[in-house]
Amino acid sequence: MPAKRIAVLSPVAWRTPPRQYGAWETVASNIAEGLVSRGWDVTLFATRDSVTRAHLNAVIDRGYEEDPAVDPKVAEYLHISEAFEHAGEFDLIHSHYDFMALSYTRLVKTPVLTTIHGFSSPRIMPVYEKYRDGYFVSISNSDRAPGLNYLATVYNGIDLDLYPLRKSHGDELIFLGRIHPDKGVHLAIEVARQSGLPLVIAGIIQDRTYFREQVEPYLDRTIRYIGPVDVAGKNELFARARALLHLNTIPERFGLVLVEANAAGVPVIAMDLGSCREVIEDARTGFLVDGVRQAVGVLNRLSEIDGEVCRQRVRQCFSIETMVAAYERVYLKIFELEANRRT
């Protein structure tokens, strides 16, 4: 059905796709590339150093998290306004820019679909409430706010080719994600200490006080922090992994790393909060737990998890192809609703 023109508005914290961390940019990239593969006319609004087969429109050279000379607010509003100033060139704007882009939506005639990647704070909710009648997609059934006009839940999708199925099992526990209390790095450390298994921690340090007080004192030869990693670095960790620990302390919004690990055949031990129950099939692609004690207890059950089954579930539920097909259905619904409004 292509022939429609789609604008994908990606964040500009990082390059699209990101070199290392950047879940929202990863998803925006996967959607843009997936739509191009299916024949859509796509323009990606992202940083100038972004890599895409879509048309690239950029007014910001590099992500503000990668270039300290860039003021984040200036970059964001130059970037968002650029997309909406070109709104008339598109049949749909697909925004991955949280609440900020919503404030432009009533100023243009082009319909805008917002994928909500998470609610960072209750303080942003007045914006969502003002624009509650817009078009929204959630990334998990658990991460929804009441009263918003959700058209669907569309799970994030990954490029399986980037994460080959590992050939053998490793002995290490791994943690991949932001170093922040929400992600439960301290709980992963406690699992490693109680089990005696080595732990490798990878990710950006988002809360330096937390790292200094609850992570750094426990680093030694068996518990190591290696910094942020790119796709190649993730695959090196997956090749050595016994399991991925994801002991989040707040409800997870989606958890892209859970899918990446499962794609490589790595079992996931995740806290049963938020979307983890939707992403991980308990006792089949990993284990859902309620704390450190249970996490330690399921370590001796990891042999029950079949890596091929993990990867097949990702292919079925969390691939780019599955995600893009779901978004195509949402786009068609929006085009139909817009056509009905005009008649």
Task: Evaluate whether 5-157+319-342 and 160-317 have a shared fold.
Answer: yes
Instruction: List the chain pLDDT tens, one digit each, 343 residues.
Output: 567 999 999 999 999 999 998 999 999 999 999 999 999 999 999 999 999 999 999 999 999 999 999 999 999 999 999 999 999 999 999 999 999 999 999 999 999 999 999 998 899 999 999 999 999 999 999 999 999 999 999 999 999 999 999 988 899 999 999 999 999 999 999 999 999 999 999 999 999 999 999 999 999 999 999 999 999 999 999 999 999 999 999 999 999 999 999 999 999 999 999 999 999 999 999 999 999 999 999 999 999 999 999 999 999 999 999 999 999 999 999 999 999 988 7
d(CA 63, CA 19): 11
Please state, in angstroms and rounded to a whole number, the distance separating the CA atoms of residues 336 and 307: 41
Are the CB atoms for 171 and 236 separated by under 8 Å?
no
CATH code of the domain occupying 160-317: 3.40.50.2000
Domain ranges of the chain: 5-157+319-342, 160-317
- At the top level of CATH, which class does the domain 5-157+319-342 belong to? alpha beta
In this structure, how many other beta carbons lie within 10 angstroms of the beta carbon of residue 227? 12
C-alpha distances in angstroms, 226 versus 159, 200, 207, 216, 238? 24, 7, 16, 12, 14
Q: What is the pLDDT of residue 2?
A: 64
